[in-house]
Chain A
Amino acid sequence: MEPSEQKAVRGVGHSVRRVEDDRFIVGRGNYLDDVKLPRMLHMAIVRSPLAHATIESIDISEAMALEGVVAVVTGKDLEAHKLAWMPTLSGDTQAVLATDKVRFQGQEVAAVIAESPYVAADAAELVEIEYEPLDIFVDPYKALENTETIIRSDKEGQADNVAYEWEAGDKAKTDQLFAEADHVVKLHTHYPRSHPAPLETCGCVADVNGATGKATIYLTSQAPHAHRTLFALVAGLPEQNIRVISPDVGGGFGNKVPIYPGYVVATAASLLLDAPVKWVESRSENLMSTGFARDYHMDGELALTSDGTITAMRCHITSDHGAFFADAQPTKFRAGLVHICTGSYDMQAAHITAKGAYTNKAPGGVAYRCSFRVTEASYIIERLVQNAAYELGMSPVEIRRKNFIKKEQFPYTSCTGFIYDSGDYDASLDKALEMLGYDEIMAERDAARAEGRLMGVGIATFTEVVGAGNSKEYDIAGLKMFDSAELRVHPTGKAILKLGVQTQGQGHETTFAQIVANELGIPPEDIAVGHGDTDNTPYGLGTYASRSTPTGGAATAVIARKLRDKAKKIAAHLLEASEGDLEWDSNKFVVKGTDKSVSIQDCAFAAYTNPPDGEEPGLEGVHYYDPPNMTYPFGAYAVVVEVDPETGEWEVKRMVAVDDCGVRINPMVVDGQIHGGLTEGYAMASMQYIHYDDDGNCVGGNFIDYLIPTAVETPKFELGETVTPSPHHPIGAKGVGESATVGSPAAYVNAVLDALQPLGVKNLEMPVTSGRVWEAIQAAKAAAE
């Protein structure tokens, strides 16, 4: 036997084409709905049409009588097994199937299990439920004031509709700085309720084998290990008997982090019926009942000196969580990491308070393509800074430069307690302005204004905090936020890498192989990457919050290095040299000053065929990586728009995005992530939101009302980069999947506001619809008269 031939290593920095594409382009992906098991039954959920009502009666007889119906499950049935309620990821509880009352439109009330999905849908219509309506609260401010109607009457001691209160920062110092300020800038704005809406909805196939007791649960999951543990805790199943398989996932964006009632009901039904049960949401079910995002009402204030120096920031948040506080975020941070809201600016103090409200809306909210509320934080500071520039008569560029944390200040401890690992904010802004041709664009804008056209230039310079944990501070439902990688190098020099994180389109099967290639010299095509199967991967917290590269990627680099260390011992044995005389050269050990070398493949072969005396055979290992800190990606975005003054429509003329995510593992994949994020940022800025009428009816419960931009509306992006490595990440990388969603909404909104600046328009709420723009123009004109 001979080890395999040498090939190009193509590690970090190469735009390696994605190995996962091979199955997707031929239609051979294996998404949840593609899973088909023998004897499989189908589940449909019966949902409440009302937003708040007691359940008077449920009659399942007609549904049960339909041919092909196997069972109809209600909350009472689950109650008997103590499964009517389940914990959320933020320490609250959530009804699985409603027993007492319904608390939002679309809430799960009963489930039909039938032989085909068509029959399940037929039977769902036949379940008769009588409701008695209750007062409805869709406005979080009104819900918080009210103590008559308690939405969460199920919670002992709950005498109001307050979900939580939370604060961060230094109130006294902040108050003092505001008292001393020359100028205070204020902004009240709402980051509207949005929904990640991955193109594949959520679903599961629960297969509890009555003979073996083994529960195999196929799940659209961004966090299969965490979900397995929660299943063990909620359903009382022994954890070794639970196998969660997250197959190919058609996009997640945070939507597939929580556990949803449908999963629990399907699993319970499978257990009771001893048959696999499939449940796949419709799009309406997805939008109306699973993890929404945002819905933060924010009052932000900046204290400034007369020269434009920001001294302090205040932010109060009223957050609307719907009927159940079902955020997925670290226990310690009730409002998420929104206290990163001081952004890229060096200020002395900040004080952030948050009050969470229960309302009669769908529960949430998840971090939609963002790290725990960083999107809201970035939005408020970038809007405030632009307003400050206008109020002080400075340019939005000048005020940012003046207040940026400087390159030499890193690592920088922010006044709310974050330690920013690295940054060079001036460099990224310089680059963006250069790409844009800022001076020319501003001249063009001014010329347009002189003609009466409404052209605007908007800037946003963001700082994110991603890659949770460290485990001291960050956990999900008590599970510490580390992550893991297991690497096995086979005798022929090929390898298998198994991950605790889970890809949903990010390309881990390619990029994580590149990390191994970088550290161990095995080409990516010789490395199979496994993920998403709890029986066959080491424990991890999953993929969200841009954490895969900072945690799982770091674990991968570290385990590869550990194996390289072992390989070095083997190399020394093969070369009959001392370890100290060996040098690593991308994929081989060379005896210093000679041309004698052995490749990593030679070492792998020897690990199984000729290990050194006293050395454990084999070449494999697992590493659990607990990051010392988060990573802090940043960037500068600039948007040019023109507004039609007659209709209020606005069009993006240019969109320049400079991102710094440290070292780029696969530049092609990074650019793809940024394109996607910029699009979702544009969607939120322009059209995509969910709202409720006074009766609690969801507007935005399908793709007719919940608007997703097509290729026609989506701007054409111009990307640039700077590279400031993370000092603590093994390969200097930071997370990037969410930067563009976090940073870009403010850039778009600031651009439209800049266009309307000559008219005196001070604020626009997202989504910045043409109607809202036109109304703002009319109001400004009326005010000027």
Chain B
Amino acid sequence: MEVTITVNGRTHTKSVEPRMLLVHFLREELGLTGTHIGCDSSHCGACTVLVDGTPLKSCTYLAVMANGRSVETVEGLKQGGKLHVIQEEFKEQHGLQCGYCTPGMMLVGKALLEENPNPTDDEVRFAISGNICRCTGYMNIVKSIQAAGKRMQAESADAAE
């Protein structure tokens, strides 16, 4: 079946089996391997992407369901050669260790900050509770997302002046 999916702003038309999971479409058909697979049962969030802006588990979503939709992956965060603030803050706050959960965490964080630019510790924890990290104990992931929120606010305040 032919699908047309916009991924990180680029439109791709491909013929896929209806059973192909979105995560495999991204990784195998497009070579975008930043989206990871960690569990099979929809419990870890390593495969998180944004579909029309909403964070979803791409291992629990068929590629055909994304037909005509817009998908953002970790590879789309950096724009015009410039890292997204959330990427910078994950590095700055040591929000990652092995890096396997990081793409999902950053995308969920980005979606959260768009709705709630100044989340509390508990609000961040609630938002990332569909994403498992085995390395960091979440402490610095929370800090990274909060720090990104603060910077984004400060930057938009600067821009408004």
A residues in contact (CB < 8 Å) with B: 15, 17-18, 20-31, 33-34, 36, 118, 197-201, 248-251, 253, 282-284, 504-507, 668-669, 671-673, 675-680, 702-704, 708, 710-712, 714, 716-717
A to B CB contacts below 8 Å, 14 in the list? A24-B96, A26-B78, A27-B35, A28-B34, A31-B36, A198-B134, A199-B38, A200-B38, A200-B100, A672-B135, A676-B134, A679-B137, A702-B43, A710-B131
> What 1/0 mask marks residues of chain B from 66 to 91 whose CB sits below 8 Å from any chain A CB?
00000001110110000100011011
B142 and A711 form a contact (CB under 8 A): yes
* B132 surroundings in chain A (CB, below 8 A): 199, 703, 708, 710
Q: Contact at A505–B137, with CB atoms within 8 Å?
A: no
| B121 close to A716 (CB less than 8 A) | yes
Cβ–Cβ contact A668 & B94, under 8 A: yes
Residues of A within 8 Å of B101, CB to CB, are 199
Q: How far apart are B97's CB and chain A's nearest CB, in angstroms?
A: 4
**Chain B residues with CB under 8 A of A702:** 39-41, 43
List the B side residues contacting A29 at CB < 8 Å: 34, 99-100
A505:B36 contact, CB within 8 angstroms = no
Q: Are B94 and A250 in contact (CB under 8 A)?
A: no
Residues of B within 8 A of A711 (CB): 124-126, 128-129, 131, 133, 138, 141-142
Chain B 91-132 near chain A by CB (<8 Å), digits 1 or 0: 110101111111100100000000000000100111011111
- What chain A residues lie within 8 Å of B77 (beta carbons)? 25-27
Chain A minimum-CB-distance residue to B139:
A675
Cβ of B130 to closest chain A Cβ, rounded Å: 8
* Nearest CB in chain B: distance from A330 CB, A: 26
Give the docked Cα–Cα distance between A33 and B131 (Å).
20
**B87:A675 contact, CB within 8 angstroms:** no
Residues of chain A with a CB closer than 8 A to B126's CB? 711-712
A25 and B32 alpha carbons, distance in the complex (Å): 13
A17 lies within 8 A of B92 (CB): yes
Q: Tell me the smallest distance from the CB of A69 to a CB of chain B, in Å.
A: 16
User: Which A residues are in CB contact (< 8 Å) with B37?
Assistant: 33
Q: Give A200 to B94 CA distance when docked, in angstroms.
A: 20
Contact A18 B94 (CB under 8 A): yes
Distance, CA A714 to CA B38, complexed state (A):
20
The yes or no answer to B46 lying at the interface (CB within 8 A) is yes
Residues B19-51 near A (CB distance < 8 A)? 19-20, 27, 31-41, 43-44, 46
Residues of A within 8 A of B40 (CB): 282-284, 702
Measured CA separation A27–B101 after assembly (Å): 10
Q: What chain A residues lie within 8 Å of B133 (beta carbons)?
A: 199, 711
Across the interface, which residues of A come within 8 angstroms of B32, CB to CB? 27
Within the complex, the shortest CB–CB distance from A121 to chain B, in Å, comes to 10
Interface size class of B (residues with CB under 8 A): 35 or more
Tell which of A27, A248, A504, A671 has the most Cβ of chain B within 10 Å: A27
If A26-B74, A505-B98 touch, whether A703 touches B91 (CB-CB below 8 Å) is no
Interface flag for B140 (CB, 8 Å): yes
Residues of B within 8 A of A680 (CB): 134
Q: How far is the CB of A229 from chain B (nearest CB, A)?
A: 25
Since A17-B92, A248-B98, A675-B139 are in contact, a sample of 7 more A-B pairs with Cβ atoms closer than 8 Å, ordered by chain A residue number, is A25-B106, A118-B17, A504-B98, A672-B140, A676-B136, A710-B125, A711-B126
A36 vs B31: C-alpha distance in the bound complex, in angstroms?
Answer: 9
Q: Are A249 and B98 in contact (CB under 8 A)?
A: yes
Kindly list the 6 A-B residue pairs having the minimum CB-CB distance in the complex, ordered from nearest: A27-B34, A505-B98, A24-B99, A250-B100, A675-B137, A27-B74
With A and B bound together, what is the CA distance between A503 and B32 in angstroms?
23
Q: Which residues on A sit within 8 Å (CB–CB) of B129?
A: 710-712
Q: Which B residues touch A199, using CB under 8 A?
A: 36, 38, 44, 46, 98, 100-101, 132-135
Assembled-state Cα–Cα distance A539/B53 (Å): 48
> Who on chain B is nearest to A26 by CB?
B78
Contacts of B90 in A (CB 8 A): 21, 25
Helix, strand, loop or mixed for chain B's interface? loop
- Which of A24, A505, A702, A703 counts the most chain B CB atoms within 10 A? A24
B96 touches A21 (CB 8 A): yes
Bound Cα distance A31, B73 (Å):
17
Contact check, A672 vs B136: say whether CB atoms are below 8 A apart: yes
CB contact between B39 and one of A17, A23, A25, A283 (< 8 Å): that residue: A283
The answer on a CB contact under 8 Å between B135 and A676 is yes
Most chain A CB within a 10 A radius of its CB, from B39, B41, B83: B39
CA distance A301 to B46 in the complex (A): 44
Contact B33 A27 (CB under 8 A): yes
A669 CA to B97 CA, complexed, in Å: 9
Cβ–Cβ contact B99 & A26, under 8 A: no
Given A27-B74, A703-B44, CB of A250 within 8 Å of CB of B99:
yes
A25–B96 CB distance below 8 A? yes
**Closest CB-CB distance, B122 to chain A, in whole Å?**
8
Judging by beta carbons under 8 Å apart, are A717 and B35 in contact? no
User: Which B residues are in CB contact (< 8 Å) with A669?
Assistant: 94
Enumerate chain B residues within 8 angstroms of A36, measured Cβ to Cβ: 31
Bound form: Cα–Cα A710–B31 in Å = 29
Chain B residues lying within 8 Å of A18, measured Cβ to Cβ, are 91, 94
For the complex, give the distance between the alpha carbons of A471 and B134 in Å: 31
The residue from B92, B103, B124 contacting A27, defined by CB atoms under 8 A apart: B103
A712 contact set on B, CB distance < 8 A: 125-126, 129
For the complex formed, measure the closest distance between the CB of A748 and the CB atoms of chain B, giving whole angstroms. 14
- Asked if B136 and A675 sit within 8 Å, CB to CB, the answer is yes
B137: which of A24, A198, A678 is its contact (CB, 8 Å)?
Answer: A678
Contacts of A22 in B (CB 8 A): 91
Best-buried of A25, A31, A33 by chain B (most CB within 10 Å): A25
Separation in Å of the B1 CB from the closest CB of chain A? 15
Q: Which B residues are in CB contact (< 8 Å) with A200?
A: 36, 38, 98, 100
Instruction: Give A280's nearest chain B residue, CB to CB.
Output: B37
Which partner residue on chain A sits nearest B99 by CB separation? Answer: A24
A325 to B77, CA, bound (A): 46
Contacts of B138 in A (CB 8 A): 675, 679, 710-711, 714
Q: A708 and B102: CB pair below 8 A?
A: no
Task: Known A26-B74, A710-B129; judge A31-B100 contact (CB<8 A).
Answer: yes
Q: Which of A26, A27, A282, A506 contacts B97 (CB 8 A)?
A: A506
Is A251 touching B134 in the complex (CB atoms < 8 A)? yes
Q: Using Cβ atoms and an 8 Å threshold, which residues of chain A touch B73?
A: 27
User: Considering the chains assembled together, what is the distance between the CA atoms of A15 and B126 in angstroms?
Assistant: 29
Are B137 and A676 touching (Cβ within 8 A)? yes
